[in-house]
Structure 1
């Protein structure tokens, strides 16, 4: 179904009050829940799920079968790989301690926030509440349980930083004790303190 806002495939399930902005596309069998916003030129792949009120910035890609549970927030240019899960329950249970079934009133959703340009590799799980920093890269199959710094390359379960990446997504090369360079763009970065990298202005 084409609309002035964006394109929704006929098999997709998009709530009437969800916002599919200009140039955005929601593909086969995806579900976009109430009050969610899919930013301009973003893509929601086949079978993906975007929860109630989730905010997706412009130029994002949510690949096939990813699960983005509320109240996640994705800044512009975020990449969510196939089958990624962004959780929202820090203490998950189907029932309360007294054996009664949990209802919406019995727990408070917590979200994953992903900042500009960051990428989450296929089959990774991000355990809320956490923040994934700008231009960070989470390797495929990782389990992220704590905040990820800007430009960090993290892998494993639990995910740990093994290096730095630049805005092009390639691992940076150390040029001295505190400076790093991108092999693709030749942009330079400086480690200003442990676990904190900043881009050096040209």
Structure 2
């Protein structure tokens, strides 16, 4: 798995196993750490001082602000109605769907094994419990978990 020449890396980025990641067309901020078996697709922006744990997938349309923690095996999505083919049976291409962007606010934490549906905002300082399926926006400093994830409380900043 390569790190493409189209990747913009900030200073002091640490990719722990560069031969075991797939990064292309993305921007990674300074002092960010990336674990093994991570894929970060084109047009993704990862801020400074983030930690992206192993086996995570950040698809096109995801913006991660500064100081965010992404646990192991976190899966972002960008299409609410994915299909392999069009109604006429022809293979779908990028022209056949629209990316729904997702934003993760500064200093938020997303627990291992979580799935983040497309088009959402996870607020500044929010915490998502491990294994959660996030189906709606999470407010700043919200603590949410479950399937679907529900806000259980809001922390004081």
TM-score computed with the length of structure 2 as normaliser: 0.95
Higher relative contact order (CA 8 A, sep 6+): 2
**For 1:109-188, what aligned pairs fall within 5 Å after superposition?**
109-165=99-155
User: Which runs of 5 or more residues in structure 1 are unaligned?
Assistant: 1-11, 166-188, 190-198
1:24-67 deviations in Å (ceiling 9; x for gaps): 11232011112x11100001110001110110000001100100
Q: Which residue of structure 2 lines up, in the alignment, with residue 183 of structure 1?
A: none
Structure possessing the higher radius of gyration over alpha carbons: 1
Task: Choose from 25, 35, 58 the match for 2:14.
Answer: 25
SS in structure 2 opposite 1:161? strand
**For 1:55-74, what aligned pairs fall within 5 Å after superposition?**
55-74=45-64
1:111-131 deviations in Å (ceiling 9; x for gaps): 210010001100000001000
In the aligned structure 2, how far is the partner of 1:111 from the partner of 1:69?
A: 9
SS in structure 2 opposite 1:105? helix
Deviating runs (4+, > 6 A) in structure 1?
Answer: none
1:151-193 deviations in Å (ceiling 9; x for gaps): 111011111011233xxxxxxxxxxxxxxxxxxxxxxx3xxxx
SS in structure 2 opposite 1:13? coil
Aligned residues: 155
Task: Choose from 24, 46, 66 the match for 1:76.
Answer: 66
